[in-house]
Chain A
Amino acid sequence: RKEVEQDPGPFNVPEGATVAFNCTYSNSASQSFFWYRQDCRKEPKLLMSVYSSGNEDGRFTAQLNRASQYISLLIRDSKLSDSATYLCVVTISSNTGKLIFGQGTTLQVKP
């Protein structure tokens, strides 16, 4: 079983749609959780951290369910510019700096 699993997609949605991505992780000792965004042929960039209480940044909402070892990302009112691959990222220890990346979920927003 992969340490971090995501549905690779692609998810094809029209502009303005709401879309949700899920991610599961296998290690119950995981401590920190993030969503990164990677545009085609570019480097990954941090989109947002995921906190236990859930957090929101504009049109983006991240949720964490430790009991189910599950993370989600919700994007409201999708824009063309949201088209990218969204990477779920987990860390086990706060001291090693070792981030474990999921395969990513590809989103294509169509006009």
Chain B
Amino acid sequence: DTAVSQTPKYLVTQMGNDKSIKCEQNLGHDTMYWYKQDSKKFLKIMFSYNNKELIINETVPNRFSPKSPDKAHLNLHINSLELGDSAVYFCASSLPGQRNEKLFFGSGTQLSVL
């Protein structure tokens, strides 16, 4: 039933490790996103893919690499994790042809880097 699902929900790891967050949507949307919400609650876009093609790449360190094997999946891999990467990461997708309208968010992955 879940429209946008991301795993894991919680991720606790040591500095320097490499980790991945997976996201899948079953809504048939063409566009998927990764957003980061920091401790001050600001939600900032990181990446956006439309039909497996990267269309938005904000100023994000190269340690972050999104991968979209198909339009229903957008995974986020993070290399050499740093303390400042601790945040909640939200995956989202949007309706075809209406990228600016309703975003459907996953429930978030709380990443804690120790």
Contacts and interface: CB of A to CB of B under 8 A. Distances in A.
Interface stretch (A21-29, A40-48, A56-64, A71-79): A40-48
Interface in A63-111: 85, 87, 91, 94-101, 103-104
Given A97-B55, A98-B56, A99-B45, A43 B90 contact: yes
B108 A43 contact: yes
Q: How many of chain B's residues touch chain A, expressed as a range?
A: 20 to 34
A31 interface: yes
Nearest to B32: A97
A95 B100 CA distance: 8
Interface stretch (B36-44, B66-74, B78-86): B36-44
Interface string B32-54: 01000000111111001010000
A49 B103 CA distance: 12
Contacts of A44: 43, 90, 103, 105
Given A31-B100, A98-B56, A43 B107 contact: yes
A55 interface: no
A98 B58 CA distance: 10
Interface string B5-41: 0000000000000000000000000010100000011
Interface of A: 8, 31-32, 36, 41-46, 49, 85, 87, 91, 94-101, 103-104
